[in-house]
Amino acid sequence: MIIQKQYKFYAAHRNEELQDKCRNLHGHRYGIVCHFEVQRTGSYTTLFSEFDDKIGPFLKEYYDHGMLINVSDPLYATLKQHMEIHGDDFKLREFEGPTSVENLAHQLFTEITQMGFDLVRLDVQETDTSVVSYDRNDWERDNEAQVFSKTKPVNAIT
Ligand SMILES: [Zn+2]
């Protein structure tokens, strides 16, 4: 049985490696649809609140109204310096690679799996018209190929 849960967060980012409009600082309302495999053990499987209690607060604390940023992007050093000088405390979600929607999908898949959920598919909507549908096979393939090995591991709420 599959349970679907939807979440959203707002975040800024840029794709510094691209030579188009995505190079500019901009923001998205990221829509997340999680597909969980659950086993029925009675009248209930997993209570929806179990997902909401962990995933909702995690996204709110680490992603929402933050900035996804590649630590190799020169802007990262500039922002860190600004924070030091001016005492600002920006919420920076660090990636050790480009903050593409593919890398975001991989990172979120890892983090939600680390919370102990049996995630089988994750849809990440970046714009009104584009969704990346990322499943367990994609995740395992990426881990094996170490495609996103540069993505910084982060501590999940458990
Ligand atoms: Zn973007």
Q: Break the chain into its structural domains and give their ranges.
A: 2-145
CA of 128 from ligand 1 middle (Å) equals 12
76 pLDDT exceeds 90?
Answer: yes
Q: What is the per-residue pLDDT for 107?
A: 93
Cα 120 to Cα 16, 25, 48: the distances in Å are 31, 32, 16
Q: What is the mean pLDDT of residues 104-118?
A: 94
* Mean pLDDT score across all residues of the chain: 89
Region of poorest pLDDT, from 92-96, 112-116, 126-130, 150-154 = 150-154
136 pLDDT exceeds 70?
Answer: yes
Architecture of domain 2-145: 2-Layer Sandwich (3.30)
CA of 11 from ligand 1 middle (Å) equals 9
How far is Cα 59 from Cα 63, in angstroms, rounded to an integer?
Answer: 5
46 pLDDT exceeds 90?
Answer: no
In terms of phi and psi (left: phi > 0; alpha: psi -120 to 50; beta: otherwise), the region of 157 is beta
What counts of helices (H) and strands (E) characterise the chain? 4, 6
How far is Cα 106 from Cα 86, in angstroms, rounded to an integer?
Answer: 33
Q: Which residues pair with 151 in a beta bridge?
A: none
Q: Would you state the structure tokens that stand for residue 63, as one six-digit string? A: 């992603």
Length of the chain (residues): 158
Q: What is the per-residue pLDDT for 157?
A: 44
Q: What is the mean pLDDT of residues 9-16?
A: 95
CA of 99 from ligand 1 middle (Å) equals 8
154 pLDDT exceeds 70?
Answer: no
23 pLDDT exceeds 60?
Answer: yes
Q: Which residues pair with 133 in a beta bridge?
A: 123
Q: What is the per-residue pLDDT for 24?
A: 92
